[in-house]
Amino acid sequence: MAEKQQFRTMIGGQALIEGIMMRGPQKSAIVVRKPDGEFATKERENKLIKERYPVLGLPLIRGTVTFFESMKDGISALTYSAEFIPEEEAEEPSKFDKWIEEKLGNERAEKIAMGIALVIGILLPVGLFILLPTLIAGLLDGITGSGIVRNLIEGAIRIAIFLGYLFLVSRMKDIKRVFMYHGAEHKTISCYEAGEELIVENVRKFSKHHPRCGTSFLFVVMVVSIIVFSVVSWSNPVIRVVLRLALLPVVVGISYEFNRLVGRYDNPVTKFLRAPGMWLQRLTTSEPDDSMMEVAIEALKMVLPEEKGADRW
């Protein structure tokens, strides 16, 4: 299987509902396969906050900034891709949605909906993967009698919830197709990095796993959180929860730098370090069909820089 990479690109992507978003050095592009088989495309120039405030591009700080920007862009792209779901499959708007649209207008209603989705998108994983394990481990204080043991149990619970969540989500039919597009995104980027022509026949040869994947990043966050949270331990459950939230930017920042490091080099040490994340992609990626690879190729071509090599990472 062809996997040799000639260089590493800074271009990354995200799987959508019947589509893919690619983000290049200068612009981002969304390509969605409409029910009639045609492409719906959307592109925009990247406006990174760290370009206005250079301090936000410093190591450790840039990880948290990039994470929130990716969340915002990802939810916006998902919302766009959902617009092409056939009406018979789309859910009927709730009374609240209709009321918001009547009072504020369609454009403002969409912005409010995106804001709510962004908040939920942040609070849900924080509650599920950070706060819930902390609270469960706190109930075992009387049994463990040790802050170190409690932190290890908390970390084990966090990873177990994360793995269970990925397993259950990967069984859902609709999500399965999103994961197929995820695989198409990885295969296409690997094909491009190997210097081969971006056609389906070439893309098909590459692996659906990629070392610089969001799944790998999330797993690293789980592991790093165990280490960082164990440094600051507190018996009071409320203070412990507050400390976990306060340390989240530190966890994300370290995880981002770690992922950049192990994704940049190919040697026995980095391959060993990224192996768990690569294994987890077995749950979050599936082999795509040719039509999905066509979408990924189109999205990638739209964000390629005019100057060859300008996207080198």
| Mean pLDDT per 10-residue section of the chain, whose length is 313 residues | 67 94 94 94 88 86 88 88 75 55 58 65 78 81 69 87 89 90 96 95 95 87 87 75 88 91 84 89 94 97 90 85
Question: What type of residue is 300?
Answer: L
Helix 173-193 to helix 147-170 angle, to the nearest 10 degrees?
100
Is 5 within the bounds of a domain? Answer: no
Query: CB-based contacts of 148: which residues, under 8 Å, 6+ apart?
Result: 230, 233
pLDDT at 110: 60
pLDDT at 188: 97
pLDDT at 144: 63
Is 214 within the bounds of a domain? Answer: yes
pTM of the model: 0.83
Is 115 within the bounds of a domain? Answer: yes
Is 279 within the bounds of a domain? Answer: yes
pLDDT at 283: 92
pLDDT at 133: 86
Residue span of the structural domain in which 49 resides:
12-303
3-state secondary structure (DSSP) of residue 39: strand
Is 129 within the bounds of a domain? Answer: yes
Is 63 within the bounds of a domain? Answer: yes
Is 7 within the bounds of a domain? Answer: no
Q: What is the Cα–Cα distance from 156 to 151, expressed in whole angstroms?
A: 9
Indicate the number of domains in the chain: 1
Query: CB-based contacts of 279: which residues, under 8 Å, 6+ apart?
Result: none
Q: What is the Cα–Cα distance from 82 to 266, expressed in whole angstroms?
A: 38
Element (H, E) at 6: none
pLDDT at 255: 92
Is 220 within the bounds of a domain? Answer: yes
pLDDT at 302: 96
Q: From start to end of the chain, where are the E strands?
A: 12-16, 19-23, 27-33, 39-45
Inter-residue contact 134 to 244 (CB < 8 Å) = yes
pLDDT at 139: 78
